[in-house]
Structures are given as structure tokens and as C-alpha cells.
């Protein structure tokens, strides 16, 4: 009993001192009126006018947001369940897009509408007023990560986004992104143009050049949404981020609007982007690398009836004894080095169907001889 008494006194003394201080503070508050418990709501201070830059952003969002849509996908995947059975798995995805015209064309990213490995995909487009419409796929340009959907909606419900040019952009100018990050539609983020002329890789491994870099927050679900300038014009389509976590880290990328304008027009008219081709089918880079071809484009097959076939371009073959006989390796077009399939695609974009180009190939494998063959370019090969 005696041993415990000294340890309790400081506690009791502290409690008593706290109570005394509390009574004194309470009396002081009551005298000033600051602590009166009236039960009534406090008066709200009137809001001062918005700052000019705030008002500009508000007006821009109100004008542009009706053009921005939520793109929802439902994809069916085949899944193996043991050695003898397989089943289907349904996965739902979300992305952003925007109204292109009053005919109901919607622009988004190709990776939004074509999930990897899916057997069947259906689409829905949700307008800014919450109305949902089924959508059909009009065209794809995976090399530019762009796609066009179409909905059957009343013209008065469709608000085409104003279009600007990406050619005269300046680093430091203000930009705004509107989209559906993590399924949260009509989300606005702001930032600046951080850099120009960046390069990102498309879903099919082709490099997209001239890309806009921004620090406006772009997260999963923003893909396919518009990047706007301070006048509310489309200057890019948000497509990718660079982040170790998968969430925004202040480095986002948008496909420039000049590329979008050219590509979308072709997708609406033809369903794909028209570009001249050599008339060959490539060997996929990972396979080519295993075959010892690290640079250039290894020809897998030559399309019958093309000038490439007539001029004797050679594809890759499997011999009777199971060995691989390498085809021609394309190393240059009109003396411009071709180190990858991206180089080939982007180089051919400078030409038109019917043009003749000098194709330099390495024949006979890595230690073979280099020859140059003039080949007339053809239209898209299916």
C-alpha cells in the first residue's frame, strides 16, 4: 500500500491542475463569446471573384467537357483450365475519348479498344450527360495508337472538340487534360508542355515520333482523352505515362494533333491508315534476334504479285533438315539506314504508292553480301 502511494500523487495533481486550467479557459472563452455553444450555423463568408486564371480554366472546362466521353470495353479471353479444358474469361476496361464530328465518330487510343489477347470485344461510349450508347469499331491505326469508334446518337448530343495544331506548340505553355482516370469521368488536370519531340513505342512496337510531354496528371483511364491548350483546342491525345508505380509521376505523353488529324481522316474513310509498303512480311523482332539478326528488318515472306517478288526479294525458309535459311535483311531505303521495323515504317511514310525506292539488303545472313534492289511500292498489304 505505502509503496504505491507516491506514484499516484503526481497523476492526481496533474488531473487537478488540468481541471483548474480548463475552468479558467472556459470562463475566458465565455466572456469573449468565442466558445458560445449556440447550436446555430456559422455565417458563411461571401466568396470573392475568381482570379482571372481560375475563371479561364473554369470556362474552358465547361466549354470542352461536353466533347469528352468515357469509353468502356468488355473483352472475352480464352483461358486454358488444365490440359483438356478451356473456358472464357470476361474483363471490363475503361478509357477516355472525345467526339470528332456530328456523325458520331469517337476518337480514342487503339490500346483502349483492342486489349491484348482478347478474342472478342464490345464497346460502349458514355457521353458527358451520362447517356450510354453501344459503339462499333470503324478503324484502327495501332502504329499511331489511335482508333475510331462510332455511335448512333442525336446530332444535338454530339459536341465535336475544337481542333488545334501541334506544330507551333511551345515548351512552358499551359495545357489541360480531361478524361476518366481510374473510372472517374470528367476529371480535369492541368499542367504545362514539358517537352516536345519525344518518342514513345506504339502497341505494335513502332515508334511514334513528335510526341508531346506534359506534367498534367495522366493516370490509367486517361488514355484516349484530349490534351487541350489554353484556348480549349485539341493539341494531343493522351496515350502513355512514364512511371515506376503505374500512376502519374508528372511525365505523360500525348500524340500530337497533326498526326491525329491525318490518321483519323483515313480511319474514317478506309478503316486503316494508308501507307505504301514494300510487299513483304517481316519476321517479328524477338524471333529475328534469336536467329542472330539484331539490326535491320528480316524478311519473313514476300507478297505474291508485288514488285518485291518480281525483283527476287527473298523470305526466310525452313529447310528439309529443320534448319532456318535466313531471308534478306533490309538495311537501308534510298541510303537511309534501317535499323528496326519502326525505321522502315516511318521511312516509307515519306513516299506514296507507285514510287520506286532503292532497297539495300544483306543477302546470305550476317556474313552475306550487300546488294541494292529498286522496288516499286504497293498499297496496304492485308
Task: Tell me what the mean pLDDT of segment 363-378 comes to.
Answer: 88
User: Which residues have CB under 8 Å from 314's CB, separation 6+?
Assistant: 299, 302, 327, 328, 363
Give 58 or 20, the one with higher predicted confidence: 58
Characterize the bridge pairing of strands 68-81 and 146-151: unpaired
Q: Cα separations (Å) of 344 from 78, 316, 329? A: 34, 18, 12
Which CATH number describes the domain made up of 174-270?
A: 2.40.10.10
**DSSP 3-state helix, strand, coil percentages of the chain (rounded to 5)?**
25, 35, 40
Q: Which fold has domain 63-157?
A: Thrombin, subunit H (2.40.10)
What mean pLDDT value characterizes the chain? Answer: 85
Q: Say which of 67, 70, 110, 111 is annotated catalytic.
A: 111
Site of grid cell 480554366: 57
Checking if the pLDDT of 26 tops 80, the result is no
DSSP secondary structure letter of residue 272? B
**Residue-by-residue DSSP string for 139-198:** EEETTTTEEEEEE---GGG--PPPB--STT--TT-EEEEEE-GGG--SEEEEEEEEEEEE
**Contact by Cβ (8 Å): 141, 256:** no
SS3 state of residue 328: coil
Q: What string of DSSP letters covers 216-252?
A: S---TT-TT-EEEETTS-EEEEEEEE--SSSS--S-E
Q: Which of the four pLDDT bands, split at 50, 70 and 90, describes residue 79?
A: low
Query: Where in the chain are the domains?
Result: 63-157, 174-270, 280-376
The verdict on whether 145 is a catalytic residue reads yes
Which candidate in 144, 145, 229, 343 is catalytic? 145
pTM of the model: 0.73
280-376: CATH architecture: Roll (2.30)
Active-site entry in 128, 202, 223, 257: 223
pLDDT digits (tens, 9 = 90+) for 277-291: 899 999 988 899 899
Distances from the Cα of 134 to the Cα of 12, 90, 112, angstroms:
72, 17, 15
70 classed as catalytic? no
**Quick check: do 63-157 and 174-270 share a fold?**
yes
Residue 185 falls in the annotated catalytic set: no
Amino acid at each position: 500500500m505505502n509503496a504505491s502511494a507516491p506514484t499516484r500523487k503526481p497523476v492526481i495533481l496533474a488531473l487537478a491542475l488540468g481541471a483548474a486550467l480548463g475552468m479558467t479557459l472556459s470562463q475566458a472563452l465565455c466572456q469573449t463569446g468565442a466558445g458560445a455553444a449556440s447550436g446555430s450555423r456559422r455565417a458563411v463568408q461571401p466568396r470573392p471573384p475568381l482570379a482571372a486564371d481560375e475563371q479561364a480554366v473554369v470556362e474552358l472546362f465547361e466549354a470542352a467537357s461536353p466533347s469528352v466521353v468515357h469509353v468502356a470495353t468488355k473483352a472475352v479471353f480464352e483461358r486454358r483450365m488444365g490440359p483438356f479444358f478451356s473456358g472464357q474469361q470476361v474483363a471490363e476496361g475503361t478509357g477516355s475519348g472525345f467526339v470528332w464530328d456530328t456523325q458520331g465518330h469517337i476518337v480514342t487510343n487503339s490500346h483502349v479498344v483492342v486489349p491484348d489477347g482478347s478474342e472478342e470485344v464490345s464497346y460502349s461510349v458514355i457521353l458527358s450527360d451520362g447517356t450510354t450508347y453501344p459503339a462499333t469499331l470503324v478503324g484502327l491505326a495501332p502504329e499511331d495508337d489511335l482508333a475510331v469508334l462510332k455511335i448512333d446518337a442525336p446530332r444535338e448530343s454530339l459536341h465535336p472538340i475544337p481542333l488545334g495544331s501541334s506544330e507551333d506548340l511551345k515548351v512552358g505553355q499551359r495545357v489541360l487534360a480531361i478524361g476518366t482516370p481510374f473510372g472517374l469521368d470528367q476529371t480535369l488536370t492541368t499542367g504545362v508542355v514539358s517537352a516536345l519531340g519525344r518518342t514513345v513505342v506504339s502497341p505494335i512496337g513502332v515508334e511514334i515520333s513528335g510526341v508531346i510531354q506534359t506534367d498534367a496528371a495522366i493516370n490509367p483511364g486517361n488514355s484516349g482523352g484530349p490534351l487541350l491548350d489554353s484556348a480549349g483546342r485539341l493539341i494531343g491525345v493522351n496515350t502513355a505515362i512514364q512511371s515506376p508505380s503505374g500512376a502519374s509521376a508528372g511525365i505523360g505523353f500525348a500524340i500530337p494533333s497533326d498526326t491525329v488529324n491525318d490518321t483519323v481522316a483515313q480511319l474514317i474513310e478506309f478503316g486503316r491508315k494508308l501507307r505504301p509498303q514494300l510487299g513483304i512480311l517481316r519476321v517479328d523482332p524477338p524471333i529475328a534476334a534469336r536467329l542472330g539478326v539484331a539490326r535491320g528488318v528480316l524478311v519473313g515472306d514476300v507478297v505474291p504479285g508485288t514488285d518485291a517478288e518480281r525483283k527476287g526479294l527473298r523470305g526466310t525458309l525452313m529447310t528439309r533438315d529443320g534448319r532456318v535459311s535466313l531471308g534478306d535483311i533490309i538495311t537501308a531505303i534510298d541510303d537511309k539506314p534501317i535499323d528496326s521495323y519502326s525505321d522502315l515504317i516511318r521511312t516509307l511514310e515519306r513516299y506514296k504508292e507507285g514510287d520506286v525506292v532503292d532497297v539495300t539488303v544483306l543477302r546470305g545472313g550476317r556474313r552475306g553480301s550487300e546488294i541494292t534492289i529498286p522496288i516499286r511500292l504497293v498499297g496496304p498489304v492485308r
